[in-house]
Amino acid sequence: MVRLAFVLLLLAPVTVAAQGTRAPVRLGELESVGALDTKTAKDRISKVLPQLRACVVGEDGKSRVSGIARYRALVVADGTMIATEVASSSLGDRSIERCLAEALKTVTFPEARDGRDTHLHLDLLVGDERTPSAEVRRATGGPGDPEFDEREDPTPAVPETRPSPQVLVSIRALQGELTKEAEERASSRAVRAFRACYEPRLAASPGLAGRIALRTKITPRGEAREVKLAFTTLPQALTDCVVRAAQLIPFEAPTREVVTEWTIVLAPPP
């Protein structure tokens, strides 16, 4: 009896420590709408949790924030996640929210045999999600949006009603270089501009959805020139509106001319 009590005494601290240890980032609820099944999506995202952990853990090895960050993401048919957008967050740290969004975009998924895209809606539980770091804030345009970023943005905000339609924009340089921050801020401005094109047409035609691909040159003055339509599945009037809006999106001036590719996805609220 004495020997049993001694063994239990030795094991007690280990048990308490194990109960008190929690992963700094965990995957919460996940909804998959499209070609990708939920189980596969969870398995693939779980594999990048170490990269997500690096976004939130400080030098002391503890999470710097706690709360829940909800993301919307688009996975295209080839299995690439081309866009992530913050739906809401209680983390209270914009740089961490952006870091998590970028880490999520490194996930690759199986190619969809039917050619369909997939919309993901997922929760990331950070630290002790029961004690949020701040009040929940909602984002309409993702990183770079004034509602989500203190830095002043000259692009007028588009009034919105809830729930908002999904407007996802990915901009990448094909020739020349743009900083990641420049791409994010231009994408955020484009989200608001394209939403202004999309919302009234969606109200008139519920269920209207599709994709547009553009190519454009960004001048050293930060202006979008020679905007060319590469692909569209949307009606002509909406496509024309998006092309015109793209010509007005300001960029942070690059050192030399840059050729960019834009992928734009418009979809009704989830």
> Alpha carbon of 92 to those of 56, 59, 142: distances in Å?
12, 19, 14
User: 140: closest CA among 160, 155, 120, 170?
Assistant: 160
- Interval 133-142: pLDDT, tens: 555 555 444 4
Instruction: Specify whether 38 is located in the same domain as 134.
Output: yes
115-118 contacts, C-beta under 8 A, 24 or more apart = 115/35, 115/77, 116/34, 116/35, 116/77, 117/34, 117/35, 117/74, 117/75, 117/76, 117/77, 117/211, 117/265, 118/32, 118/33, 118/34, 118/35, 118/36, 118/41, 118/74, 118/75
In the prediction, which pLDDT does 263 show? 93
Specify if 189 maps to a domain: yes
Instruction: Specify whether 134 is located in the same domain as 172.
Output: no
Segments forming the whole domain that contains residue 228 = 166-267
Counting residues of the chain whose pLDDT is more than 70, the rounded percentage is 79
Instruction: Specify whether 205 is located in the same domain as 247.
Output: yes
Q: What is the mean pLDDT of the chain?
A: 79
Q: How many domains does the chain have?
A: 2
- Interval 10-25: pLDDT, tens: 444 444 333 344 678 9
Specify if 155 maps to a domain: no
Kindly tell me the sign of the dihedral angle through the C-alpha atoms of 238, 239, 240, 243.
Answer: positive
- Interval 202-247: pLDDT, tens: 989 989 999 999 999 999 988 888 899 999 999 999 999 999 989 8
As separate numbers, helices (DSSP H) first and strands (DSSP E) second, the chain gives: 6, 9
| pTM value surpassing 0.75 | no
Distance of alpha carbon 101 from its chain centroid, rounded?
5
The pLDDT-based confidence of 152 (bands split at 50, 70, 90) is very low
Instruction: Specify whether 131 is located in the same domain as 170.
Output: no
- Interval 155-172: pLDDT, tens: 444 444 457 788 999 998
Specify if 97 maps to a domain: yes
